Amino acid sequence: MALTSIFVSFALSAALSGVSQANPIRRRAACPDGVNYANNAACCALFPVLEDIQTNMFADSGCADAAHAALRVSFHDAIGFSTSDPSQGTGADGSIFIFGEQEIGYDANLGIADAFNLEAPFIAKHNISVADFIQFAAAVSLTKCPGVLPPTFMFGRVDATAPAPDNTVPEPFQSSTDILARMADAGLTAADTVALLASHSIAGADDIDPNATGVPFDSTPSLFDTQFFVETLLNGTVPGPNQGQASSPIQGELRLQSDFELAHDPATACLWQANVNNQQAMAQAFQQAFAKMQIIGQDASTLVDCSDVLPAPPALSASQAQAFFPPGLNISDVQGSCDGTPFPNLPTAPGAAVSVNSM
């Protein structure tokens, strides 16, 4: 054998021995529609759903009303579960719509009728479980919000055969202790709870203030950024007289009593403050906690990972990722509760104090 071919054969076998230790090369399955590919052929069933809801349900409206509603209902469905009491529901099981006549009537589900009206016609058209539809629509909704890291989607949930009882969904007027206890009972830690509440960065309220709808929880409700964690830690100067409401730092912004309490509870205050101006950590913690929430009560070993079907979320620009004090406010307006860790000093947005627009 010539010296060069000995060398080639040695190099090839060295390369192959490296390959044999690496992960096998996966072939993506071509879907029957002749257009799409998926890591698992079972996921092909999701492409027609994706296309329909993108075009007709979310109607390409971005990180706005429909996306926010789809995200909220995914939590209200999943949280109907207890690690100790089977009578509390079977988790992310679609019960909130399947038994909507009962569950949507619970006080904590005020406003969930909007999500039902949005999603029901599409659930009727597509042959996937209601439980899967709710969580799939929520994952798709997240991909509309700049700053979200790619969500996961596990496919194959079993639908509920009974409704979740009342009082599984936390209320904004409950104490942080009660809320954390309810979340823990469903299998979610205090850290998971704070992580999940990053969702309130792309959210607002229709039913807390009887005189206003679409009142955002932070000044950037279409961006999944850390402003929510900044603004919930600023002194409240605008009165919030309604049940479940606390005073907010900016005209036109609504602060939930529960967010205020969790921002200051010793069990969560430092986790809360740690998210301030820490986009990557916040987005990563949310990504993980959301994946956990989405399969509450389901047998994970029977689900298929169809995350590759989801579109990529838009990125947040560097300037959007920079947290700031709203115009006219600064570090002296911070009401911090994480003893021993100074609140980061942030730039103040230029201009005179403004009022936040409704969504």
Q: Does 207 bind ligand HEM (CB under 6 A)?
A: yes
Considering only the stretches 42-50, 89-97, 194-202, 307-315, report the one whose residues sit in contact with ligand HEM under the rule CB under 6 A. 194-202
Judged by DSSP in three states, 28 sits in coil
Please tell me the distance from the alpha carbon of residue 306 to that of residue 152, in angstroms, as a whole number. Answer: 7
Structure tokens at 216: 């955002």
Pattern of binders to ligand HEM over 172-191, x per CB under 6 A? x------x------------
Structure tokens at 99: 């038994």
- DSSP β-ladder status, 215-216 and 204-205: antiparallel
Let me know if 264 is a catalytic residue: no
Q: Does 170 bind ligand HEM (CB under 6 A)?
A: yes
Q: Does 263 bind ligand HEM (CB under 6 A)?
A: no
Q: Does 196 bind ligand HEM (CB under 6 A)?
A: yes
Q: Does 264 bind ligand HEM (CB under 6 A)?
A: no
H helix intervals, the chain: 3-21, 46-52, 65-78, 95-98, 100-103, 112-125, 130-142, 176-185, 190-196, 227-231, 257-264, 269-274, 279-293, 318-321
Task: Name the residue type at position 180.
Answer: L
CB of 48 to ligand HEM, least distance (A): 26
Residue appearing with tokens 């000093």: 345
Considering only the stretches 15-23, 92-100, 192-200, 304-312, report the one whose residues sit in contact with ligand HEM under the rule CB under 6 A. 192-200
Residue 34, classified by CB atoms within 10 Å of its CB into exposed (0-12), middle (13-18) or buried (19+), is exposed
Beta carbon nearer to ligand HEM, 36 or 174: 174
Structure tokens at 270: 């430092």
Pattern of binders to ligand HEM over 109-138, x per CB under 6 A? --x---------------------------
Confirm or deny that 265 is annotated as ligand binding: no
Position among 44, 256, 269, 356 found at the interface with ligand HEM (CB under 6 A) = 256
**DSSP class of residue 237?**
-
Q: Does 69 bind ligand HEM (CB under 6 A)?
A: yes
Structure tokens at 22: 């690496």
Judged by DSSP in three states, 41 sits in helix
Answer whether 262's CB lies under 8 Å from 176's CB: yes
Beta carbon nearer to ligand HEM, 43 or 221: 221
Q: Does 72 bind ligand HEM (CB under 6 A)?
A: yes
Total of chain residues touching ligand HEM, rule CB under 6 A: 24
Considering only the stretches 17-25, 165-173, 315-323, 324-332, report the one whose residues sit in contact with ligand HEM under the rule CB under 6 A. 165-173
Q: Does 44 bind ligand HEM (CB under 6 A)?
A: no
Q: Name, in order, each residue with C-beta under 8 angstroms of 181's C-beta and a sequence gap of 6 or more.
A: none
Considering only the stretches 46-54, 145-153, 204-212, 297-305, report the one whose residues sit in contact with ligand HEM under the rule CB under 6 A. 204-212
**Angle, alpha carbons 149-65-305 (nearest 5°):** 35
Give the alpha-carbon dihedral of 271, 249, 208, 147, to 10 degrees: -50
Q: Does 107 bind ligand HEM (CB under 6 A)?
A: no
Beta carbon nearer to ligand HEM, 159 or 206: 206
Please tell me the distance from the alpha carbon of residue 325 to that of residue 38, in angstroms, as a whole number. Answer: 44
CB of 295 to ligand HEM, least distance (A): 13
Please tell me the distance from the alpha carbon of residue 106 to that of residue 119, in angstroms, as a whole number. Answer: 19
Confirm or deny that 114 is annotated as ligand binding: no
Confirm or deny that 132 is annotated as ligand binding: no
Position among 178, 206, 305, 308 found at the interface with ligand HEM (CB under 6 A) = 206
Give catalytic residue positions: 76
Bind-site residues for Ca(2+): 77, 91, 93, 95, 201, 218, 220, 225
Q: Which residues bind ligand HEM (CB under 6 A)?
A: 68-69, 71-72, 75, 111, 170-172, 179, 193, 196-197, 199-200, 203-208, 244, 256, 258
